[in-house]
Structure 1
Amino acid sequence: MRRTLYTLTLIACVLCMPLGTFAQRITHTYNKVSLSEALLQLNSEQKEYIINFLYNELEDFRITATVKNKKLPDAIQQMIGFYPVRMTVKPNDHEIYVECTHKTDRHLTGTIIDEQGQPMGYANVAILNPVDSTLLGGGVSNESGYFAIPYEQAKVLVRISYVGYKTIYKICSQSEVGTIRLQPETIKLNGVQVTGERIVSGTENGHLVYNMPMLLQVYPADNAYDALVSIPGVSEMGGTVMFSGWAVTLIINGKPTMLSADKVMEQLKQMPAAMLAKAEVMPSAPAKYHVRGMAINIVTKDFSGTNQLSGQLMGGWRQHKYGTGYAGGSIIYNHGKLGIDASYKFTNGTGYGQVEHEANHPLGDQRIPYSDKTRNHSDGTDHDYRIGMDYAISDSHRLSLAYTGQWNSTRSTNTTTGTAQSTQNSRQHTYLHNVDASYSAPFGLQIGVSYTNYQEPRTQHLEGKLNDSSRDLDVDSRQKVSKWLFTADQTHALPKGWELNYGGKAQFTNNNSYQITLDTSGLPLSDATSHVDYDERIMNAYVGLSKQIGQTLSLDASVTAEQYHAAKWNEWRIYPQFNAMWNVNAKNMLNLSFSSEAVYPSYWSTMSSIYYASAYSEIWGNPDLKPMSKYEINLMWQLNRKYTFTAFVMLEPDYFVQMAYQPTDRMAVIMKETNFDYSNYFGLQASAQFSLGSWLNGNVMATALYRHDKTQFFDLPIDRTYLSGILGGMAVAKLSQKHNIQFILNPFFQTKAIQGVYDIEPFLRLNATLRYTTKNGKWSLVAKGENILNAHISTRSTIANQDYTMCVWMPYTNYSLTAIYRIGNFKEKQKKLVDTSRMGY
């Protein structure tokens, strides 16, 4: 065989800066490409290193991998994977040597798939002597199931094994063994069938990573949101996605989420689960993501460069006390470097909510009993739409432009009966316009620009009576927020494997909002009328360093300096971040993280006016409300990639939340957001995955939480501690393998807990889903029940002279039926979401 020596000069894009010379970052997607061809391709993109290798020696080693923004040596190391190939880097001579460690003219090659025809990555392949079964060599399959193992003996015995699958032995006298299909192995123990499970999690760049296509084989889902909450340790409570019991920030493809939590969930529910590649759980997000604290980065599959026209249609009905219909569609067109996507969703129906109050009101030196029930009935129409364009100049050189809009119209009526009687009618509209542009340069620079305009005008009329007092008020209000956001980030590779990140953001917001409240004579109430027109500025700059030490230890640290300037605040704060991950071995991991961040109050909560919600309830704004800080420490131990144990501490000085207060001079309850001295948490959390035969899979999570709240609320001194617990999980039962029918159960239980003045009673929430998908995957039919036990959150305040109880049903028990039809091989485009987290009443 002719052996050809190739010496490649790789093109370097050198950035001339005071910091010195930095290497260009490599971004490529390889699909069953030979290692030799991949190195040749790099020849057209780099010039900093000279690569020396034998073409024919590496030709049989095919690679399937996505390399994103990596230094050249790291990119080549990822491409090598588990192959018997060694890379030697001589940075002083600017040379890289790539060679096979087992030099032979024969390579045993083949592809391994599972019972459903899906490729099986990381399967073990051993080459044995057919005479005495002694080990001659071995290797591991890559992500596409392909393997290439050097060997010398003409006739060998091949052993292929994978945890949870039957081991296959095969005599081979040819170098190409073809496609090998593995079957699940079932072990019977005292009449119980236990089937082995695939490992669906690992580590990458210091993050805990879940393989979403593999996870979806265990926990089926039709949309990205259902897939996300099926990750062990992830749950949703009250519109917040949590990991290990803590709220997380969602990021899509490395970009921070730009939408409030409820709208993020709606976006994810419209995103097909099939488009997900992996989910990166980051206990402490690096500063380059422009979010701090715990975050989950949802990585979608990259289909740029393909030619396709695909789409998805969906429609359904949700029934609670009343009904709501919804329908929508998405379409995506890709042609070479250009990608265009558009989506639309329409919702129309009637909503329902219910709240009950009971109190013994401290009026003077007396106790006045009070009780009421408020029912909310709302009719509304929603239109959500988006159109976007992406142009991939090259793999690491892209331009994106998108417009996102929302139009909403709602009429609602709150009817209160009991000690107080009142009726409140309101009408509101929501208008949202967002234009977003981003640019990624091939030398590691990323620039983003976003403009958002949000308006919510509302009119209300309240008629109420409590004992001898009455309220007859008209309210006209509007929230108008305009926001500009600019971001810039740069990444450089430094000598000895270090990576430097730096950048910043500038956010400029104008809040022009008002509330006018008129009494029965048409005169404005001074305490319920206000207007603001102020500019807010948030600017920060960060610098970070990271390093991968061998294959076992990852380090990442950064520091951010941030200025917050608003009507009453002008201050600088420093926020450090640190994350260290130690891969003890292939199945065990330790992670230590520290993060810090600022949390800002909503725009409407800082208004100075009072909003009269009923004849008894008042909602007070607080113009003195200031941002809170949050400091988190997490120590996580993952055992066998299936069992996770976490110890955590979260300190929150200036924590703010809305609480209730009963004044002694009149019959009223005041709801007001206020800053605490602090709210601190200490806890332990454990989660585990389980299976029973081939028909049942699931995970379970348990958390013990100790909380300490301290503040002064009106005249109430608060210094409280409490120990509470949380249990949750998911169970997926395959009712029919032949017809692809699954039943999914999601329980969530919380013991008694506290929050400021409140005692929160224990509650159990239960969701259930019945899912059917046709064999060709075109049709899905999903029947779902949410909060089927109609659980409610019950709080009671008995601090000092207070005695106030509130029960909230949210969401009210509802059942839905959704039909989904996929046109072509649909893969929906990832969407950058619009930040409305601080907008709204």
Structure 2
Amino acid sequence: MKQIKIISGLLLSICTSVSLWSQTTGKIIDTKQQPVEGATIVMQQPDSTYLGAAISAPDGTFVLEQESDNYLLIIQHLLYHVKQVKGQTADAGIITLEQKDYNLDEVVIKGERPLVKVENGRLGYDLSVLSEKQVVNNAYEAITKLPGVQENNGTLSLAGASSLTIMMNGKPTTMTPEQLETLLRNTPVNRVEKAEVMYSAPPELHVREAVINVVTKRSHDYSFQGELSTNYQNRYFSSGGVNGNFRLSTPKVTLDIMYGADNIRTMEYTDLFSRHALNNNVYEITQNEKLNSKSWMHNVRTALEYNINEKNRLDVAYTGNFTPNGHSRSIADGSFQQSDLDKFTDNKMNNITVRYSSGIGLEVGGDYTRYTSDNNQAMFTQLSDKSENSYTLIGGQRIDRYSVYADQKHNLANNWGIGYGVSYRYAKDYDFQTYNNVTGNIKPENTVARLNEQTTNFYFSLSKNWATGTSLSVSATGEYYTIGNYHKWAVYPQASLTYLKSPQHTFQLSLSTDKTYPGYWDMQSSVTYLNGYSELQGTPGLRPMTNYNLNGTYILKQKYIFGLFYMHTSDYFAQTPYQAIDRLALIYKNTNWNYMRMVGANVILPFSIGNWYDVRLTLVGMQARQKCNQFFDVPFDRKKWLFAGTLDNTFKVGKNLSFELTGNIQTPFIQGTLDLASSFNLTAGMKWNFAKDRCSLTVRCSDIFNSSMPDMKVRFKGQYLDMNPGFYTRTVSLNFTYRFGGYKKQKIKGVDTSRFGH
């Protein structure tokens, strides 16, 4: 109760804050009603006293941090006639520029858009430009094409960052990374305005690690548009699905509706050889395991954006993800045992988000997620000595997660700024599994567990922007965290400095700290039998890991990126296999290490030849040290160098046809006692736009040589294990998309979107 009173007091304090600034906004368009980007807007008083200046955004909007009862705007652009507009209100409205007439003889003007723009310490990428030639079909696939981003088995990583969070429109969510990925895979790339990459996220984002913030476009007019798509995929089995996205907008209201259905079938195949030492004997165990699964996945999203007035906006969104009647079957056959495991699942996720943005720099919001999972299992195992083990299991998980937040910003004199805010998150987790019909020599335990988790954060930030483009931000976030009997106070400092010597030379230095908490199920005292030899154990008392990141980045000519990084993670946890010393069992279990430390460098080099060939080379080199004094009876302290390279080639044939060829290679690495072999992935694709760009067809074959999954082995202090999971990773996919847009009314009053997406 005391905590609730404290939080309520902070929220009340923030909500009653008075803004120290005001703004003048407007929009620049041409005579064809298209937005004009890059126009310079100079604001003066009638006596020519300078008040401020701004540059129009890609959607034509601009924001001047000054407001005057009587002002003159001077709008200039290389391709348009200079225009002067007098005004007296904070909304300058829509300003139309007339194009200049150029008669050029034997003069060719060539321009190249910058790969990256640095704004307030954020690396901004225009996804529509990056993906216009790439073989991508949705926002998630476009993110994988960002410089320094790598996807490995559905997990995204950023070169130089120990962990990565994906966000939409700069606000926290209680959805899991997997659920957010599903949403992005169903989001058209043309609905995304830009992607912001931050190695040290500002505290108002309510995360403290590296972040990619996906900013969606806002509508400013009367329109109706949509997109219908269908896809086919073959990865041993054939899968496919359909997706529909529709948007209806007015200057006041925008309604988005999305629905997607996918029929998913997968196959995983693993070869295992274990030389297991037990009671002075060595048992050689061979095992082949096939795991196939099938399910239908339904995704739905409805989002409503309501512009109350020029400075106040309310957003409400519902997202649902449903996977009913999922079925997977694991068949393991080997020298030690033969087993058959059937599993039936039913998963549901419902999420609702509410967000209010005010004209005084205040944002408040809330988020709720309800997740339920039910699974029934039946396993039968026959061991080499003809003994049999079997069981049936009924299990499930119920999670309710709530979050609320409030953030306040003030712009002060001389381009100084302060920010402060508070957030509270509560999660209630209920896990259970009950064994029945147990026979043989196994000792399953019934589990009923309840966890209540609370996280309270409050922060203060200070920032400074110079006219040269240089910026500085520092912040400190205090956190009080409880789960069960675990209580912890912590302070997380963060800092980011961007030095813009000129548009050709940008330097950035960032420091961030964070904690990563284990999954709820990982902290239970449960045992799940995967087959007659392998089992998955929970870890009660598993501690969160603390991450410290230091990154330095140099950007040359707004496209060549050079980086150095240092990462140290205390109490790092990972799942590493272990051969038990008291029985023939292979145990998978998360354990806390002393630390995991990495230091290295990365280089991103894009090149182009004319308008037909683009290539981007990404190189990463680093040394990792991993130490654990309490890993069962085999403590380790290991070091390893890793080098990785990606070459992304895009060939454009004519206006509407493009091809891509991407190769990725990684040298051997380590994970605890595991040794990971080198891996290689070659992907080829084609994209064809036709019917006046209303239709597109993409074809892709990824992991052509079936070599993206590395072989794994353990040769450490008597542990001897070989695993090869790299079967059936080659994937052929096709995607067809049809876009349409109906009624569209022009010449409407612009809406202030200067604060949207942050």
Cα offset, 1:751, TM superposition: 0.1
CA distance in 1, matches of 2:450, 2:712: 36
Letter in 1 for 2:454: R
Asked if the contact 2:657–2:689 (Cα under 8 Å) also holds between the matched residues in 1, the reply is yes
CA distance in 1, matches of 2:495, 2:597: 20
**Out of 449, 459, 462, which is 1:542 matched to?**
459
Alignment of 1:19-30 (within 5 A): 22-26=19-23, 28=25, 30=27
Alignment of 1:690-769 (within 5 A): 690-711=607-628, 712-734=630-652, 736-738=653-655, 740-769=656-685
Alignment correspondent of 1:435: 352
**Out of 393, 402, 426, which is 2:343 matched to?**
426
Alignment correspondent of 1:634: 551
Q: Does 1:518 align with 2:436?
A: yes
CA distance in 1, matches of 2:25, 2:722: 58
Letter in 1 for 2:248: Y
Alignment correspondent of 1:31: 28
Post-superposition Cα deviations, 1:341-397, rounded to whole Å, max 9, x if no partner, equal: 211111124221122211111112222111211111112111111222121112431
Alignment correspondent of 2:216: 300
CA distance in 2, matches of 1:457, 1:26: 52
SS in structure 2 of the partner of residue 645 of structure 1: strand
SS in structure 1 of the partner of residue 273 of structure 2: strand
Letter in 1 for 2:120: N
Alignment of 1:410-489 (within 5 A): 410-419=326-335, 420-468=337-385, 469-489=387-407
Asked if the contact 1:473–1:518 (Cα under 8 Å) also holds between the matched residues in 2, the reply is yes
CA distance in 1, matches of 2:57, 2:429: 50
Give the structure-2-normalised TM-score.
0.86
Alignment correspondent of 1:353: 268
**Out of 284, 288, 301, which is 1:386 matched to?**
301
Asked if the contact 1:28–1:395 (Cα under 8 Å) also holds between the matched residues in 2, the reply is no
CA distance in 2, matches of 1:285, 1:326: 35
SS in structure 2 of the partner of residue 256 of structure 1: coil
Q: Does 1:53 align with 2:46?
A: yes
RMSD value over aligned CA atoms? 3.3
Q: Does 1:267 align with 2:190?
A: no
Cα offset, 1:527, TM superposition: 4.7
CA distance in 2, matches of 1:747, 1:822: 31
Alpha carbons of 1:496 and 1:229: their partners in 2 closer, same or farther (altered >3 Å)?
Answer: same
Segment of structure 1 superposing worse, 390-399 or 461-470: 461-470
CA distance in 1, matches of 2:196, 2:743: 23
CA distance in 2, matches of 1:797, 1:397: 59
Alpha carbons of 1:810 and 1:205: their partners in 2 closer, same or farther (altered >3 Å)?
Answer: farther
**Out of 140, 152, 159, which is 1:225 matched to?**
140
Letter in 2 for 1:646: G
Letter in 2 for 1:177: K
Cα offset, 1:53, TM superposition: 3.1
CA distance in 2, matches of 1:332, 1:471: 55
Cα offset, 1:642, TM superposition: 2.4
Post-superposition Cα deviations, 1:466-500, rounded to whole Å, max 9, x if no partner, equal: 32253201111101101111111111122332111
CA distance in 2, matches of 1:242, 1:437: 29
Cα offset, 1:67, TM superposition: 9.6
Letter in 2 for 1:779: C
Asked if the contact 1:250–1:297 (Cα under 8 Å) also holds between the matched residues in 2, the reply is yes
The runs of 5 or more residues in structure 2 that have no matched partner are 1-11, 32-42, 85-97, 745-752, 754-758
Asked if the contact 1:54–1:99 (Cα under 8 Å) also holds between the matched residues in 2, the reply is no
Aligned length: 703
Alignment correspondent of 2:734: 817
Cα offset, 1:21, TM superposition: 6.0
Letter in 1 for 2:153: G
Alignment correspondent of 1:565: 482
Letter in 2 for 1:612: Y
Letter in 1 for 2:615: G
Segment of structure 1 superposing worse, 267-276 or 370-379: 267-276
**Out of 495, 499, 509, which is 1:592 matched to?**
509
CA distance in 1, matches of 2:734, 2:716: 45
Asked if the contact 2:26–2:62 (Cα under 8 Å) also holds between the matched residues in 1, the reply is no
Alignment correspondent of 1:665: 582
Cα offset, 1:55, TM superposition: 9.0
Asked if the contact 2:54–2:62 (Cα under 8 Å) also holds between the matched residues in 1, the reply is no
Alpha carbons of 1:70 and 1:146: their partners in 2 closer, same or farther (altered >3 Å)?
Answer: closer
CA distance in 2, matches of 1:412, 1:180: 68
Alignment correspondent of 1:284: 200
Alpha carbons of 1:515 and 1:18: their partners in 2 closer, same or farther (altered >3 Å)?
Answer: closer
Alignment correspondent of 2:159: 244
Asked if the contact 2:167–2:213 (Cα under 8 Å) also holds between the matched residues in 1, the reply is yes
Alignment of 1:388-403 (within 5 A): 388-403=303-318
**Out of 235, 239, 245, which is 1:324 matched to?**
239
Segment of structure 1 superposing worse, 239-248 or 471-480: 239-248
Post-superposition Cα deviations, 1:269-323, rounded to whole Å, max 9, x if no partner, equal: 32222222222221111001111121122222221x4111221111121112111
CA distance in 1, matches of 2:552, 2:380: 54
Alignment correspondent of 1:178: 101
CA distance in 1, matches of 2:665, 2:70: 56
CA distance in 2, matches of 1:180, 1:253: 43
Alignment correspondent of 2:119: 204
CA distance in 2, matches of 1:212, 1:618: 43
Cα offset, 1:245, TM superposition: 5.3
Asked if the contact 2:27–2:61 (Cα under 8 Å) also holds between the matched residues in 1, the reply is no
CA distance in 2, matches of 1:223, 1:663: 45
CA distance in 2, matches of 1:200, 1:520: 61
Letter in 1 for 2:378: H
The runs of 5 or more residues in structure 1 that have no matched partner are 1-14, 35-49, 77-93, 101-106, 110-139, 151-174, 187-194, 831-841
CA distance in 1, matches of 2:99, 2:239: 58
CA distance in 1, matches of 2:461, 2:614: 40
Alpha carbons of 1:68 and 1:821: their partners in 2 closer, same or farther (altered >3 Å)?
Answer: closer
Segment of structure 1 superposing worse, 747-756 or 469-478: 469-478
Asked if the contact 2:54–2:64 (Cα under 8 Å) also holds between the matched residues in 1, the reply is no
Task: Pick 1 or 2: higher relative contact order, CA cutoff 8 A, min separation 6.
Answer: 2
Asked if the contact 2:241–2:262 (Cα under 8 Å) also holds between the matched residues in 1, the reply is yes
SS in structure 2 of the partner of residue 667 of structure 1: coil
Asked if the contact 1:219–1:697 (Cα under 8 Å) also holds between the matched residues in 2, the reply is no
Post-superposition Cα deviations, 1:198-257, rounded to whole Å, max 9, x if no partner, equal: 323221112222233433445464422232222222221222222225342122222235
CA distance in 2, matches of 1:276, 1:629: 33
Asked if the contact 2:398–2:429 (Cα under 8 Å) also holds between the matched residues in 1, the reply is yes
CA distance in 2, matches of 1:440, 1:464: 58
Alignment correspondent of 1:365: 280
SS in structure 2 of the partner of residue 583 of structure 1: strand
Alignment correspondent of 1:115: none
**Higher Cα Rg, which structure:** 1
Alignment correspondent of 2:65: 72
Q: Report sequence identity in percent.
A: 27
CA distance in 2, matches of 1:401, 1:723: 47
Asked if the contact 1:210–1:280 (Cα under 8 Å) also holds between the matched residues in 2, the reply is yes
Letter in 1 for 2:606: Q
